[in-house]
Structure 1
Amino acid sequence: MSEHSDAARLEALGYRQELRRSLSILGNISMGFAVVSPVVGLYAVAVVGLGIAGPAWVWALPVCLLGQALVVCVYSELASQWPLAGGAYQWSRRLTGPAFAWLSGWMWQFAVMFANTTVAYLAAPWVFTLFGATPSPRDLVLVALGFMLFCTLVNAYGINFLRWFVSLGIAAEAVASILVGLSLLLVFRQHGFSLLTETLGAPAALGSTDARAFLAVVAVGGWAFIGFDACVSTAEETKDAARQVPRAMWWALLSVGTVVILNAVAVELAHPDPAAVIAGRDLDPVTTAVVSNFGGWAPKPFVVVVLVSFTACLMASQGGAARGLYSLARDEVFPFSRQVRRVNRHKAPIGGLVAATLVSCAALPLGLNSSAMGTLITFGSAATFVPFFLLTAVALIARLRGRWTPSGAVSYGRLGTPLNALAVLWTGFEVVNICWPRTILAPVGAPWYQVWGALLGVGLVTGAGGLYLLARRPDRRMRDHDSGHGQLDELAPAVR
């Protein structure tokens, strides 16, 4: 499809082309790959998973990957039919009423911004590792803030500049994930595969059971497989987006999922003393496995590679958040829409970038009182899985009522409805599982708001969105906008 055809398709959906449409399918995949990120996914959850459930925690990863594959099935049909930035908001308004659609978009947008908070916070310790320093909680928050501002600056120079940085991050991923993972598994393995069925007493040491510990790990493990919707965020900058965005989501999820599982297994089997992680004597099992096997020269280069990967992940995710805000603001249904919808001379959504950065930074104080890794992972995951659940549920209801029949380039036919139903069950389960307050995911002696962080975050965003909806009635503006664009749904006349 030519760029002119893409622009015409966008105009038929009620919008004009304002962003630079220059991404190929490889460029779109790179955005999704960078955000899902095997380095960020694995290194963030490995220490938490191993400490809670022992080596057996790795079995949570294929469970989470399968569940997220169900979500991608639904997303693929939607993205193919409506290839628009701000996917959850744009799709929901075509599947259900304006009020619910707006709230769904609001929740999704804050989910991405809070996920950025988590990525920035998890990246901060690696800076101190590089220099051999021990950070205080305040130091971690300040460095995370620096990460956020640097990524905002890069994003401000437009999609092509962002793509260059993301490509560098993917190269780092290839070294840190594939090469290192295969080497650990094939050359430096120190334990038999039977270790992967052992808990080494980790649940009992925390006063939990094996089943409860596994559920907690599934709550954390979901973090490793979110972010594929970044492919949707750049749909209006991707050539032939209706066909290429669904493909890019699948490539991003499955490639990252394979690498994460490979590396999780490799790290455990090559780690010299997994029991030390459970006892709290080793707070960085991934680095320990690498350094103890590759030798003393490895730590600095390895940390640099990991930092590059985290930075690329945050850049791509922040870019997606900005584009989602741009999508809401151009319909004048987001606070300060006139400022948020601004596009600069590099055709970057600069207003969305500034707003996304401010919101993401506002959540960083969660980490001020004590180490907040487990809390922030569940905080970011909960904010993401709620929109997953809302969107899959709305799509399923529209199918069952006969209001939506997928008519894009991607359709699963009769399988679409049962796959959608399974996606609703999975995401609903994960929302409850992630939001369930657990002391084992927070540091010893952590304040109450860290234990309840996920539920508080979801409640705060939902409450704020509900109040804005009642006070400003953005759903009415959505109705006015739709009535002024009779072609809003020309691609799916069955949706009414």
Structure 2
Amino acid sequence: MSAENIKLIPKLSLLSVVVFGLAYMAPGIVMSIFGVISSTSDGSAPTAFALATAAMLLTALSYAKMAKIFPTSGSAYVYARRLLDSRVGFLVGWAILLDYLFLPTVAWLFQSFYLAAQFPAIPVWAWLALNAGLTTIINVTGIVLTDRVNKILTLLVVTLIGIFIAYCLAYLGGNPPASFTEPFWNSATTVSGIAAAAAIAAYAFLGFDAVSTLSEETKDASRNIPRAILLTVLVGGIIFVVVSYIMQLVHPGGDFEEAATAAYAMQVLVGGQFYANIANMLFIVGGFASGLAIQASTSRLLYVMGRDGVLPRRLFGRLNPRTKTPIFNLVLVGAIAALAMNISLELATSCINFGAFLAFATVNLCVIAYFIRSRRQGTKLPVIGYIILPVLGAAVDIYLLTQLSPMAIIIGCIWIGLGMVYLVFLTKGFRREPPEMRLQDQQSERIQAQHPAPGTLSTVPAASQAQPTEI
């Protein structure tokens, strides 16, 4: 069997995909950014996280709708291509590529910095090589091993969060807070402060969309992927709100000696230095799951774009016959980590945010486009679910995009400009369509026939086309 004919195998359950999404988001991030969120919101961190959860749920609903209609890997890239325009789909995929290529690097770099701080005898570059290398080996082995390691490490992180909460509750037992409602709203809280903090907190949700890249490796994808997307945001949001509420009780107000290390200082306060050091180390190890999930989803996006011919197919669009994994893509993503030593975390993070929020806004627009198409075919879909909520979701995403630093926006625009140049090359000066989708199963062929990209013709007679799906 040739490499081009090998398919991704559906082996993942709903639980596996939800755990994957949570690992991608990294539940422990609530502790890492608590100080910044609390400081920005003047001591109302749980309210900021709750607002961010509600805002991200708007976009999650749109992703769930699209994942049910298009149960194939590729995420926003596929949705935009099928519902907006093939060229728009390409540029969305290009924007997501910026996000996904930098995400593994940032995850590994964060781990390497913390490990080097705790074990200074080993340099950062060595930890970086170890993290990237070990992650790549596990992902190359296959999705089943990745799933098992992912579950174990995510369970470790959730357990550590539970232990930390227990220490906090024990501390509060001896030092009862003056008020149990102040973490949500206090005398210093303002609407503008909450909004600004929620915009920062929204970054903690980046990655829930990556669940859709596993559609072709998930059992009953049209049912489980939409559920997994919503569950990932809901479970993640609940964890963020509960943990930040208890941390805010331990430390009322938003004043910290160093907001970036507030969680570590709080661990020392409630459990002592020894506990803080052990917990810090275990959180770092648990964070390995995030890099594992991020690299896996990035390789799948590259695979879909390669399979379509948008990227060189012989390199990017091939699966290993034995492991059924895109080995070239996984190795490439691991190799890109070498660039991490020459860029700042701020720069890499900015690139991630630009690509993510642009993709989020586009998916909301795709839902609106689907509504319009359905109306033209005679199917009426609910206005609230397909117009009002997506419009609100797109507005939130665009607002978050405008909150990025000027440098982030400049870099993002340059990246999109490079994508435009490549698109001109692929289409011979826009004289032809970008390479078309080559979805490889009967369900995918049916989807493509029912939802051809704007400007293309369906090969299925109108009488045999199914009606648009209502969700």
TM-score class, shorter-chain normalisation, is: 0.7 to 0.9
SS at match of 2:318: coil
Q: Which one of the candidate residues 309, 316, 329 is aligned to 1:332?
A: 309
Report the CA distance between 1:346 and its aligned residue.
1.0
In structure 2, the residue matched to 1:221 is: 201
In structure 1, the residue matched to 2:423 is: 469
In structure 1, the residue matched to 2:458 is: none
Q: Which amino acid aligns with 1:92?
A: A
Q: Which one of the candidate residues 253, 258, 265 is aligned to 2:245?
A: 265
Distance 1:480 1:104, change over 3 A: closer
CA contact (8 A) 1:118 1:380 kept: no
For structure 1, which segment, 336-345 or 91-100, has the greater mean C-alpha deviation from structure 2 after superposition?
A: 336-345
Report the CA distance between 1:87 and its aligned residue.
1.4
In structure 2, the residue matched to 1:392 is: 364
Aligned length: 438
In structure 2, the residue matched to 1:420 is: 390
TM-score by length of 1: 0.79
Q: Distance in 2 between matches of 1:34 and 1:239?
A: 19
CA contact (8 A) 1:148 1:361 kept: no
CA contact (8 A) 1:29 1:249 kept: yes
Report the CA distance between 1:321 and its aligned residue.
0.6
**Percent identity of paired positions between Structure 1 and Structure 2:** 20
Q: Which amino acid aligns with 1:421?
A: V
Q: Deviations over 1:222-274 (max 9, x none)?
A: 11112112221111111111101111112111111111121122223224996
Is residue 2:435 matched to residue 1:478?
yes
For structure 1, which segment, 323-332 or 143-152, has the greater mean C-alpha deviation from structure 2 after superposition?
A: 143-152
Distance 1:74 1:383, change over 3 A: same
Q: Which amino acid aligns with 2:110?
A: L
Correspondences of 1:191-340 after superposition (within 5 Å): 191-192=177-178, 193=180, 194=182, 197=185, 214=194, 216-271=196-251, 275=255, 277=256, 279-280=257-258, 283-334=260-311, 336-340=312-316
Report the CA distance between 1:288 and its aligned residue.
1.8
SS at match of 2:8: coil
Report the CA distance between 1:356 and its aligned residue.
2.9
Distance 1:52 1:488, change over 3 A: closer
Q: Which amino acid aligns with 1:325?
A: L
Q: Which one of the candidate residues 39, 50, 56 is aligned to 1:68?
A: 56
In structure 1, the residue matched to 2:461 is: none
Is residue 2:96 matched to residue 1:108?
yes
Q: Which amino acid aligns with 1:232?
A: S
In structure 2, the residue matched to 1:440 is: none
Q: Which one of the candidate residues 430, 449, 453 is aligned to 2:400?
A: 430
CA contact (8 A) 1:56 1:199 kept: no
CA contact (8 A) 1:115 1:383 kept: no
SS at match of 1:390: helix
Q: Distance in 1 between matches of 2:74 and 2:42?
A: 39
Q: Distance in 2 between matches of 1:241 and 1:184?
A: 40
CA contact (8 A) 2:45 2:245 kept: no
Q: Which one of the candidate residues 22, 35, 41 is aligned to 1:33?
A: 22
Distance 1:178 1:110, change over 3 A: same
In structure 2, the residue matched to 1:160 is: 144
In structure 2, the residue matched to 1:151 is: 135
Q: Deviations over 1:21-75 (max 9, x none)?
A: 2111111111111112211x31342243345444234432112111110111111
Q: Deviations over 1:114-152 (max 9, x none)?
A: 222332233233313533x499xxx55664454233212
Q: Distance in 2 between matches of 1:54 and 1:81?
A: 42
In structure 1, the residue matched to 2:47 is: 59
Report the CA distance between 1:198 and its aligned residue.
5.8
Distance 1:182 1:467, change over 3 A: farther
Distance 1:405 1:248, change over 3 A: farther
Q: Which amino acid aligns with 1:106?
A: W
Q: Distance in 2 between matches of 1:187 and 1:159?
A: 42
SS at match of 2:172: coil
Aligned alpha-carbon RMSD (Å): 3.3
Structure 2 unaligned spans of 5+: 452-464
In structure 2, the residue matched to 1:7 is: none
Q: Which amino acid aligns with 2:421?
A: L
Q: Deviations over 1:368-394 (max 9, x none)?
A: xxxx45x55444222211111122223
Q: Distance in 2 between matches of 1:113 and 1:156?
A: 17
Report the CA distance between 1:179 and its aligned residue.
3.8
TM-score by length of 2: 0.82
Q: Distance in 1 between matches of 2:375 and 2:107?
A: 38
Q: Which amino acid aligns with 2:199?
A: A
Q: Which amino acid aligns with 1:476?
A: E
CA contact (8 A) 2:111 2:284 kept: yes
In structure 1, the residue matched to 2:460 is: none
Report the CA distance between 1:155 and its aligned residue.
0.7
Q: Deviations over 1:54-110 (max 9, x none)?
A: 423443211211111011111111111111111112221210221111111221232
Q: Which amino acid aligns with 2:388?
A: P
Is residue 2:37 matched to residue 1:49?
yes
Q: Deviations over 1:417-457 (max 9, x none)?
A: 21111111111111112x244xxxxxxxxxxxxxx2x2133
SS at match of 1:42: helix
Q: Distance in 2 between matches of 1:253 and 1:79?
A: 15
CA contact (8 A) 2:76 2:93 kept: yes
Q: Deviations over 1:361-416 (max 9, x none)?
A: 5455322xxxx45x554442222111111222233234235478899xxx867533
Distance 1:399 1:273, change over 3 A: closer
